[in-house]
Amino acid sequence: MTTANELIDLVRAYNPNSNSDLLRDAYAFGADMHEGQFRHSGEPYFTHPVAVACILAEQQMDDATLITALLHDTIEDTKASFADVETRFGREIADLVDGVTKLTNLQLSSTQTKQAENFRKLFMATSRDLRVTLVKLADRLHNMRTIRSMRDEKQAQKARETMDIYAPLAGRMGMQWMREELEDLSFRVLNPDARSSIIRRFITLQREAGDVVQKITADMRVELEKVSIVAEVSGRAKKPYSVWRKMQEKDKSFSRLADIYGFRIIVATEADCYRVLGAIHQRWRAVPGRFKDYISQPKTNGYRSIHTTVSGRDGKQVEVQIRTREMHEVAETGVAAHWSYKNGERVENRFAVDPVHWIASLTERLDDDQDHDEFLEAVKLEMYTDQVFCFTPKGDVIKLPRGATPIDFAYAIHTRIGSACVGAKVDGIRVPLWTRLKNGQSVEVITAEGQTPQATWIEIAVTGRAKTAIRRSLREEDRGRFVRLGRELARVAFENVGKKATDKALTTAAKAMAISDADELLAQLGSAEITGRDVVRAIYPELEARDGEEVDKNRAVVGLAVGQEQQRGACCQPVPGERILGIAFRGQGVVVHAIDCEALADYEDQPERWVDLHWHEGTHAAVNTVTFDVTITNDSGVLGRICTLIGEQNANISDLKFIDRKPDYFRLLIDVDLRDTEHLHRVMTALEAESNVSSIVRHRDPALSNMRRS
């Protein structure tokens, strides 16, 4: 593990004015908080935050970001609180650590609807301070580098999440090196046979043809010396995943795949870039359609470079990237360039573009009540696609994803223009609306008063912005009809399971499905975006068999010493799925508390008694009693229906006590035996949907702590 002094030396190499005392204090604080914690590999846990800090130091980040890296798991996984971090290191760092904690808790690998909502939260958090995301990306990179110590199924889940979310996010933020490494590390887990096959083919190719990269690099240096251009020339074989993706996209075998080698030429000035391009094209034949000038038309993340593909030595096609040193720094570090230091001073790179503007515009134009699947679609379209650049008749540049149509162009200008579009001219010629636009074309949108979006446009449009606006317009046009139809469908669906589609039931279902209100739920039901079964299941889900081993109730908690007994805290009644810790009592075992239990305040001055615990993974028995504080209307049969609802969720009532009786309502405490947090949520949702239930909350009482300061 890198020591504090070694980390400080690494930072002072690029920032002599770094606050070494604060870095050393953060290192000591993190080491102390994580004392006794270990990774899956058996290493001390603190090796992970230190490795994350080193990754960011290699990107020449500022002190606040490095300290955040050292502390990024303290609020989440140790007894340290936000207030502790703020008191010791200041509000800026406390906010950054808290931001990383919230990103960690998003659980982006969950179901599609939840994933979409978490994507929205991720971008909202990112737009406040991008350093939060930089730390999270470095955290994920180190976890992927050390993923072999995890279970196979966990490896696959993390690798898929990395491939789908974190790798493209790193690329979108301009950190291409990180994107490539994240992709390759994920590829090694998800398809190890394919990766090994590609590596073997590279070895065979090198054995047969010699070191192609070295030979072509030497050829390029000779050509540049002929025209007196001073340049740094380098080359490499492309990453296995990049080669595999090309093979899949082009449906070609490795032997037929061109462009598996990439070369980079770095020069002093922008003018030299074009001189190098001329020298390369004069010596080797350019491949048609494989030229991109990102200097005159930069990418939205600030990336600038000239890309050209030529037929090099022995007819092999190779890609050449040409850029200046400043352009190269942005291409390598992306958004991290905003916090980079050199010789103790913040670096101002004129080519650096802050992606926060892209993120802010994305979150602003996607309404809070937008359908989750539409939001996810829009985000992925923004992140994953390459771009084409087209011009308005006035010469303004409109950037669109590859494959975009005039409809996308119209909505990119303004939603009003998109909705009123009736046709388009490309380079002065009238074209169908489904025409795919190409780089450099001039597009004129033809509009007509009274025109509204057509349903067929959804299939023609490519951008998330256009699709979202079209769907919203279509929904508003038919909303009344869809709401009426949805209400009838809901009535039938609820009657099929012996329930009534009351306004409260529909409101509860909308809340459970993360839909804004009951009317929007009915509109989506009527337009077939969701089914009646989906609505019913949101309130009365059928209990299905869950993956994982059956957990012995006597060893439900992990982290106890051999022979050490444990009992759940009566004050907070923790259940599997909640974060927990224990308080040790001499001769009496350990009492397990939820991490937010108020009774823990009694032991703040006795840290030696705190025990780091977590629940055993698998299916737990329904033996964890939770008390509900329920208020119901005073009508005949209501209590019986409440008990029936709880029984329908496969939950057992172990005790029931009335604590308040009034002419119009009863208030009672109900003890229910549950498995875990999911079971808890299902019971509460079913009760909340019942029209005769005025309120239901989880009852917790710090005064009921099993043992007091003994």
Active site residues: 76-77
Whether the CB-CB separation of 673 and 651 falls below 8 Å is answered with yes
The dihedral through the CA atoms of 457, 467, 396, 296 has a sign that is negative
Beta bridge partners of 610: 583
Q: Are 122 and 383 in contact (CB under 8 A)?
A: no
Q: Measure CA 181 to chain center.
A: 17
- CB-neighbour burial class of residue 120 (10 A; exposed 0-12, middle 13-18, buried 19+): buried
Residues linked to residue 265 through DSSP beta bridges, in sequence order: 233, 322
φ, ψ at 698 (rounded to 5°): -80, 125
CA distance 192 to 161: 17
Q: Distance between CA atoms of 243 and 182, rounded to whole angstroms?
A: 15
Can you tell me the distance from the alpha carbon of 364 to that of 375, in angstroms, rounded to the nearest whole number? 12
φ/ψ of residue 367, rounded to 5 = -60, 150
219: enclosing H helix or E strand: helix 212-226
- d(CA 245, CA 234) in angstroms, rounded, equals 23
Distance CA 604, CA 580 (A): 15
How far is residue 219 CA from its own chain's centroid? Answer: 43
Tokens read off for 480: 């009344």
Q: How far apart are CA 649 and CA 686, in angstroms?
A: 8
Torsion angles phi and psi, residue 523, rounded to 5: -65, -40
Kindly give, in sequence order, each residue whose CB lies less than 8 Å from that of residue 562, ignoring residues fewer than 6 positions away. Answer: none
CA distance 642 to 633: 11
Q: How far apart are CA 531 and CA 486, in angstroms?
A: 9
